[in-house]
Chains A and B, each alone.
Chain A
Amino acid sequence: QVQLQESGPGLVKPSQTLSLTCTVSGGSISSGDYYWSWIRQPPGKGLEWIGYIYYSGSTYYNPSLKSRVTISVDTSKNQFSLKLSSVTAADTAVYYCATTPDYRFDYWGQGTLVTVSS
């Protein structure tokens, strides 16, 4: 069974870039079985899909965030990463990584809280 673990700074200053990494175990990113997604959830609110990447490097982003998002993959480390630029307090959220076959999310990481504050 695939397991995912998010990691990265828990505090980011406004206008800076949020950077997170998702480490995959129990399966290979290069298997081609999944797209690899990032999803976020502001405190007390609902879920928002950020985007996903395939092992080949092809990406698809939520149009609402596209101008600020970059998702990349490192198959040698079995990791994929998220960068979100020009953050504001509205980007404060729990960020999850997840596997995405056929427009659903099968396996999720435990999530990591990122707070945007000076």
Chain B
Amino acid sequence: QSVLTQPPSVSAAPGQKVTISCSGSSSNIGNNYVSWYQQLPGTAPKLLIYDNNKRPSGIPDRFSGSKSGTSATLGITGLQTGDEADYYCGTWDSSLSALVFGGGTKLTVL
């Protein structure tokens, strides 16, 4: 059972928008930066968002991140079939003294 809680799956049609939530506590999301990762089938995870809402070079602005209190959200607009992947949130947990991840959310673009 993961420290950070994500929905197991989300789905939306091409061109639409989807959000993925990541819920934690004051020992993790509430007091630390959140990052998001995209894992396409059979590949290594890739950094999408860091410091809650910043995009690394090369990540399109269709991807966005936000944080409020002890929850974070990844937003993806203009969905493409190539966005079908598993998405993970991550942060530092001060109580566990460890970097932690959410359980992952599988995005299906119908």
Contact = CB atoms under 8 A, between A and B. Distances in A.
Partners in one complex: yes
Interface of A: 37, 46-49, 62-64, 96, 100, 102-106, 108-111
Interface of B: 2, 32-33, 35, 37, 43-47, 50-51, 56, 88, 90-92, 96-104
Contact of B35 (A46, A96, A105, A108): A105
Given A103-B91, A105-B35, A49 B44 contact: no
Contacts of B91: 103
Contacts of B32: 103
Contacts, number: 57
Contact of B98 (A62, A96, A109): A62
B9 to A, nearest CB: 14
A45 B82 CA distance: 21
Given A47-B88, A102-B50, A104-B35, 17 more contacts: A46-B2, A47-B101, A47-B104, A49-B101, A62-B98, A63-B96, A63-B98, A96-B45, A100-B99, A102-B33, A103-B33, A104-B33, A104-B50, A104-B90, A105-B45, A105-B47, A111-B44
A109 B37 CA distance: 14
A108 B88 CA distance: 14
A102 B92 CA distance: 9
Contact of B102 (A46, A100, A102, A103): A46
Nearest to A61: B98
Contacts of B45: 47, 96, 105, 108
Contacts of A100: 99
B100 A49 contact: yes
